[in-house]
């Protein structure tokens, strides 16, 4: 029995998906036993030239009609955004049709509502492509690791920023030059702000936290810092200290609840994430029983993303043919609260521009100590009028770290707090 | 509604699984919505002390009765072997009960028959723990990558051998010393032959090939070479040439068909698998659309393995509650033939002990050339009576490589072929 697929959006990912569903139809059927038929492709402009050919009547401008279209058994949303896309997805779920989406923004923004709609209809809402592109991470989290009390997830989930930081680290490039290179190569948009500000990664951090901990964190509640302020000097100093700077999405369960945050961080060179270079993405999962898992691969691009969407389509089609009410894969537990950001324990790297004279270190150390932050290592670079002090602290509450650094910035002997970045490592 | 679990085997993995199902019952229910109840634990010796406590009547010596036991909805087989375990699994599937197993040997040996039995009953046979322990790899292959025409899988799927090779590479240890260290630390059995001979990895290679290509390769048809013959010298020479020696499970689709093989190989230092150290496992998947994916984590141990089994249990229980016939996740295509091993193209590293005199290199190069093998690089170590020649070839058919090396071994100027190992890299 053929399964009728309705696809909303035919941009880079949608176009590739339609082409593969048509060109690889027989190979897919041989491999999966499923006869997947493209029945509708909803686009803004039906007259525009496309990289695929579909029979008359398949292209349509009426995305919202797919929910009630009897030829469509399963809806794929690859148009993006949280406007029409939300209506399309909700409409299909309410009409009892499984939905596959690659839309991280939509899932992060309206996850609980969408899951409820899917559960009410007994159909699946699948979104493997929403985090990590072609890397299987959604399904491992909610299936293979269903029985694991995941403790922490560290993700490099934005290829643009990882490419920029890799250039800064490996070529000694400045942020501006590395960004320009990323734009030349098509890794960064002409307006790169969604990537470099960490905004793209916050949606993914929220989704990872939701799946791992069953607590949905609003995207706006994800603490966010971008990489725009990263100085070449700190990337070089980090390397001297045995670290590499990465933009991390962190989803964590601590005593105070669960949390999600996105910020640049120093990662020890021996950590598996330190070796993730260029536009590659990776997700590192820690759990008490399973230990440490690393998933790495292409985090974006039409090919990998279409593969992830296709995997979800195959899965949803199998379920459809089984003809059952699908049990929800995710249960949001209202019980686990969101941690107070100020209470989350982190380690910090602080670069201070100081006067090189006796008593400077004592004053800095006292200021850290006054706020309950203990110092792991200190290193002085340069001598004379102005020296640079590199401090790495032990773990302490975020609020205490911030207060300590603010106090240090006010010390007479400190000319400037050049940088204050978190350090993510297993040591206390 | 509670789901009744029957577990066969209560060794390291089984004992951990029973304990977690009991101790973490409420956390699991909160996370998954499933009420999983341990109803039977079949063991050889019901009188033996166990690391868990179960109500009277749960422990039983009659594993084969679980199939028809009305209190058991789902059977978990963690006893291992292909004897009683096969009867338990087949019996349960025939009785219409989903089965979760961690038994690589059984799945490799009887996969097609087991899949048929599962399909006939419309239930699932899940075995995430059979390859890579806690690393999610089975499910990503047959779900997330269902729409990908996977080209090649390279796996480090045996922690014992990877530990031994890591010690040889990082400490310059001999094979014997590294093996002894592995035994002291419990990474290797007193009789290490199943691991060091590559036998353990062949089952996993066969399973990976079957899932990726839909062609089931008999374990006995998987080409196998172990690490017993690896000399400290070759590990050191490999490092000088920019490689590290790993025991690889390779599942590959070439022009001549699909193949699976297990052997030590030189992996370039920049390859993601080169950084997989100690007892860690990793699977590297290459596909035309998805690019390159890496999955890494603990390949063995009670905790990770029990987590993988538990994920399968959750999945199977969800399906049970949905009350549907389950569509088979795997279709074995009789169409894709198994490649002739001699025709598979590989690159080789060959160490030759030669007389250091004019004409030696010419004779060696001519012998390679006579068999259609072209040389990528040659390096001479030492001078005098006896020198060492390190040759790395370009890709050529296995049979030609073997014939060339045999011919070279017969040359007057060659005292000994010290080593001949395959090189797995992306270069031609």
DSSP-derived secondary structure for B97-144: --EEE--HHHHHHHHHHHHHHHHHHT--EE-GGGTTTTS--HHIIIII
Q: Which of B33, B76, B136, B150 to mutate to test the interface with A (most CBs of A within 10 A)?
A: B136
User: Cβ(A315)–Cβ(B143) under 8 Å?
Assistant: yes
> Which residues, 6 or more positions from B127, have their beta carbon under 8 angstroms from its beta carbon?
B100, B101, B102, B103, B104, B107, B138, B207, B312
Question: What is the Rg, in whole angstroms, of the alpha carbon atoms belonging to chain A?
Answer: 24
Q: Does the residue A414 lie in any domain?
A: yes
Residues A372 and A306 in one domain: no
Q: Would you call A136 and B304 a contact, using CB atoms and an 8 Å cutoff?
A: no
User: Cβ(B26)–Cβ(B51) under 8 Å?
Assistant: no
The range of the structural domain enclosing residue B313 comes to 2-133+302-322
Query: Residue range B385-395: average pLDDT?
Result: 93
Q: Does the residue B146 lie in any domain?
A: no
Chain A contact for B296 (CB, 8 A cutoff): yes
Q: Does the residue A90 lie in any domain?
A: yes
pLDDT tens digit string along B148-203? 999 999 999 999 999 999 999 999 999 999 999 999 999 999 999 999 999 999 99
- Predicted local distance difference test score (pLDDT) of residue B335: 56
Give the number of domains in chain A.
3
Q: Would you call B298 and A291 a contact, using CB atoms and an 8 Å cutoff?
A: yes
Q: Does the residue A332 lie in any domain?
A: no
Give the Cβ contact number of residue A336 at 10 Å.
15
Give the Cβ contact number of residue B194 at 10 Å.
17
Q: Examine the residue annotation and report whether B347 is marked as an active-site residue of this protein.
A: no
- Nearest CA to B423 out of B225, B267, B252 is that of B267
* Partners of residue A131 in chain B, C-beta under 8 Å: none
Query: Residue range B40-62: average pLDDT?
Result: 94
pLDDT tens digit string along B108-125? 999 999 999 999 999 999
Residues B310 and B388 in one domain: no
Residues B347 and B246 in one domain: no
Q: Does the residue B328 lie in any domain?
A: no
Give the Cβ contact number of residue A240 at 10 Å.
10
Residues B350 and B317 in one domain: no
d(CA B298, CA B282): 8
Q: Would you call B290 and A310 a contact, using CB atoms and an 8 Å cutoff?
A: no
- Predicted local distance difference test score (pLDDT) of residue A359: 87
ipTM of this model? 0.91
The domain spanning residue B39 has which CATH number? 3.40.50.720
Q: Does the residue A74 lie in any domain?
A: yes
Strand intervals (E) in B270-344: 280-287, 291-298
Q: Is the pLDDT assigned to residue A274 strictly greater than 90?
A: yes
Q: pTM of the entire structure?
A: 0.94
- Predicted local distance difference test score (pLDDT) of residue A385: 76
- Nearest CA to B353 out of B389, B322, B384 is that of B389
Task: Tell me the count of A-B CB pairs closer than 8 A.
Answer: 200
Q: Which of B97, B104, B204, B246 is catalytic?
A: B204
Chain B contact for A304 (CB, 8 A cutoff): yes
Residues B292 and B306 in one domain: no
- Predicted local distance difference test score (pLDDT) of residue A153: 97
Q: Does the residue B89 lie in any domain?
A: yes
Give the Cβ contact number of residue A128 at 10 Å.
28
Q: Is the pLDDT assigned to residue B428 strictly greater than 80?
A: no
- Partner-chain residue, chosen from B24, B296, B325, that has the shortest CB–CB distance to A272: B296
- Partner-chain residue, chosen from B31, B294, B324, that has the shortest CB–CB distance to A146: B31
User: Cβ(B418)–Cβ(B351) under 8 Å?
Assistant: yes
Chain A contact for B28 (CB, 8 A cutoff): yes
- With cut-offs at 50, 70 and 90, classify the pLDDT of residue A324: confident
The domain spanning residue B392 has which CATH number? 3.30.70.260
Q: Would you call B292 and A294 a contact, using CB atoms and an 8 Å cutoff?
A: no
d(CA B178, CA B170): 11
Q: Does the residue A333 lie in any domain?
A: no
């Amino acid at each position: 029995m053929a399964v009728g697929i309705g696809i909303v959006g035919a941009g880079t990912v949608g176009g590739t998906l339609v082409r593969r569903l048509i060109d690889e139809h027989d190979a897919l059927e041989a491999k999966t036993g499923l006869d997947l038929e493209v029945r509708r492709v909803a686009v803004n402009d039906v007259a525009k030239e496309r990289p695929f050919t579909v029979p008359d009547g398949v292209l349509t401008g009426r995305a919202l009609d797919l929910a009630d279209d009897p030829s469509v058994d399963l809806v794929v949303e690859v148009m993006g955004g949280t406007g029409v896309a939300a209506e399309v997805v909700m409409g299909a779920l309410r009409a009892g049709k499984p939905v596959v989406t690659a839309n991280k923004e939509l899932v992060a923004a309206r996850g609980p509502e969408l899951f409820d709609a899917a559960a009410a209809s007994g159909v699946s809402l699948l979104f493997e492509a929403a985090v990590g592109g072609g890397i299987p991470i959604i399904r491992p989290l909610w299936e293979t690791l269903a029985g694991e009390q995941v403790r922490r997830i560290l993700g490099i989930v934005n290829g643009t920023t990882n490419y920029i930081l890799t250039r800064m680290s490996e070529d000694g490039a400045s942020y501006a030059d590395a960004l320009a290179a990323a734009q030349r190569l098509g890794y960064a948009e002409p307006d790169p702000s969604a990537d470099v500000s960490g905004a793209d990664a916050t949606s993914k951090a929220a989704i990872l936290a939701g799946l791992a901990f069953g607590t949905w964190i609003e995207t706006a509640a994800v603490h966010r810092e971008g990489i725009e302020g990263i100085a070449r000097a700190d990337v070089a100093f980090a390397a001297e200290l045995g670290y590499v700077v990465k933009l991390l999405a962190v989803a964590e369960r601590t005593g105070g609840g669960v949390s999600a945050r996105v910020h640049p961080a120093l990662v020890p060179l021996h950590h598996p994430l330190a070796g993730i270079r260029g536009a590659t993405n990776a997700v590192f999962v820690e759990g008490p029983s399973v230990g440490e898992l690393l998933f790495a691969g292409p985090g974006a691009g039409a090919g990998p993303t279409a593969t992830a969407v296709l995997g979800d389509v195959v899965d949803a089609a199998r379920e459809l043919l089984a003809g059952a009410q699908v049990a929800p894969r995710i249960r949001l537990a209202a019980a686990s609260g969101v941690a107070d950001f100020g209470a989350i324990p982190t380690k910090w790297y602080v670069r201070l521009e100081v006067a090189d004279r006796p008593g400077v270190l004592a004053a800095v150390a006292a200021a850290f100590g006054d706020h309950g932050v203990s110092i792991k290592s200190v290193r002085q670079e340069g001598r004379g009028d102005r020296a640079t002090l590199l401090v790495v602290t032990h773990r302490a509450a975020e609020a205490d770290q911030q207060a300590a650094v603010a106090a240090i910035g006010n010390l007479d002997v400190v000319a400037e707090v050049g940088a204050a970045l978190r350090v993510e490592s297993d040591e206390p």
